[in-house]
Amino acid sequence: MAHESHYKPTSRFGKWMDERLPVARLVHGSFVDFPTPRNLNYLWTFGGILSFCLAAQILTGLVLAMHYQPSGAEAFNSVEHIRRDVNYGYMIRNFHAVGASMFFIAVYIHIFRGLYYGSYKAPREVLWILGVLIFLVMMATAFMGYALPWGQMSFWGVTVITNLFSSINELIPGLGTAIVQWLWGGYSVSGTTLNRFFSLHYLLPFVIAGLVILHIWALHVAGQNNPAGLDIRTKADAVPMFPHAIAKDAVGLFAFLLVFAWFAFVMPDYLGHADNYIEADPLVTPPHIVPEWYFLPFYAILRAIPSKLGGVIAMFSAIAILVFVPWLDTSRVRSSKYRPIYKWFFWLFAFTCLALGYLGAMPAEGVYVFWARVFTFYYFAHFLLVMPIVGLIETPHRLPRSIAESVLGPSRGGGITPATAAAAPEKR
């Protein structure tokens, strides 16, 4: 990758391999002597945590797929079989179900960290966009995975979400219905739909894995962002990835596993919905159909818009807009630490997302709809108004001259170039 590896093969076999397929050199350069900014905080351990989450989901999913029956008649029974009869089946299943939630907790922290510290800014735009793609595929994978137990919430969640595409009828009559029937493989949600969801649910994690490789590649070309938002300029700014960053990643991962294990062993059903322990019944609609918690903010946006098509467009735009963030933010200062005005808007945005999550779980009536509209407005205003305008009018705090100075203080910093140029808001 971008960084020159100092790998020196020691064994004869190592030298022989290095001239033919330098895998060891690649690994050494990417994960051993790769220079990492010395000021990274624990929020930067979530990249490693997310890699762990993906690997854990694939492994537990592999075992579950050995016992699961993807048919309308047998899906629910086979999950019960896994829970009740397969050796440690309950544990594997809890790891997988809770693991999906943990994956999203980690990815949301990771995304908000990127937003706070401006990790999307040049030269990391492609890295950021790859991240948005991973997020999108993750959501598709999780949605299809939630369908597989074929409980009431699985069935009705699939019904509600796939039916969204029928709103395309408002644009081209008939096209929406055709798409929905094509997705279902019939005229209603059925075992056929479940079958294809299972097939795709098995495929998509490997698509994510491919995107993750590109994401890490792009990261290692551009180098890591850091809490100061400065580039590595001198040796004093960086520490080698091994052992420094790896040691910190390990602490972060195990602290995260504590939370993971708390949910998986003590309260495995807390993050799910009780109705999903009732077998899917097309004739009985649950009183409240709610998606999994990680979709709730988007669900709130969907329901906030009075028109069905408008709601669908708003919901997908809420994710698509993330792609344009590198160009919507006009400030040249990466880290919000040095942005006295934008910092407050960042926290307002974080609150907005939480509020939308709360409102997504509430019935779409009365005062909830009003607030869902207010927060939906701010969700988009944050990207389309706040990011461009604040970047132009704000005077950022003075930046440290180097990463080393931000850690050690001005006397021992030893930066080379003054960073005042980067501190000035971009002139347009």
Partner 1 sequence: MSKTSFKTFGLGFAAVTLLASAPAFAAEGGGHHIDRQTWAFGGLTGQYDKAQLQRGFQIYKDVCSACHGMKRVYFRNLVQPGGPEFPEASVKELAAQWPNQITDGPNDAGEMFDRPAKLSDPMLGPYKNDKAARAAQGGALPPDLSNIAKARNVHNSAFWPKHVWLMAKDIATGYQEGGADYLYALLTGYQEPPAGVKLADGMNYNVAFPGHQIAMAPPLSKEGFQTYADGSGSLEKNAADVAAYLTWASDPSLNSRKSTGWVVLLYLLVTTVLLWLGKKRIWANAH
**Which residues contribute to the site for partner 1 (CB under 8 A)?**
38, 41-43, 80, 83-84, 90-91, 94, 101, 104-105, 108-109, 112-113, 116, 227, 239, 243-244, 247-248, 250-251, 254-255, 257-259, 261-262, 264-275, 277-278, 287-288, 290, 292-294, 296-297, 337, 347, 350, 353-354, 357-358, 360-363, 407-408
Least distance to partner 1, CB of residue 239, Å: 5
375: which residues sit within 8 A by CB, 6+ positions away? 300, 304, 352, 355, 356, 359
Which residue, 281 or 426, is less far from partner 1 as judged by CB?
A: 281
Closest CA to 215 of 146, 156, 131, 301: 131
What tokens were used for 16? 């022989």
Closest Cα to residue 269, out of 373, 419, 176, 151? 151
Closest CA to 350 of 137, 44, 113, 107: 113
CA distance 404 to 235: 9
Taking the least distance from each CB to partner 1, the nearer of 42 and 380 is: 42
* Separation of alpha carbons 298 and 277, rounded Å: 25
Indicate the residue among 31 and 112 with the shorter CB distance to partner 1.
112
- Please give the single-letter amino acid code of residue 371: W
Nearest distance from C-beta of residue 183 to partner 1, angstroms: 25
Q: At its nearest, how many Å lie between partner 1 and the CB of residue 19?
A: 33
Q: At its nearest, how many Å lie between partner 1 and the CB of residue 111?
A: 10
Residue 368 C-beta: closest distance to partner 1, Å? 10
Residue 218 vs 232, nearer CB to partner 1 = 232
Q: Are 335 and 274 in contact (CB under 8 A)?
A: no
Residue 270 C-beta: closest distance to partner 1, Å = 6
- Residue number with CB closer to partner 1 (165 or 394): 394
Residues 362, 368 contacting (CB under 8 angstroms): yes
Whether residue 123 contacts residue 223, with contact meaning beta carbons closer than 8 Å, is answered with no
Output 85 or 426, the one with its CB closest to partner 1: 85
Query: Nearest approach, Cβ of 397 to partner 1 (angstroms)?
Result: 12
Query: Can you tell me the distance from the alpha carbon of 30 to that of 217, in angstroms, rounded to the nearest whole number?
Result: 9
Decide: helix, strand or coil at residue 389.
Answer: helix
Q: What three-state secondary structure class fits 151?
A: strand
Beta bridge partners of 240: 35
Strand, coil or helix: 291: coil
* Residue number with CB closer to partner 1 (77 or 420): 77
Smallest distance from the beta carbon of 163 to partner 1, in angstroms?
A: 20
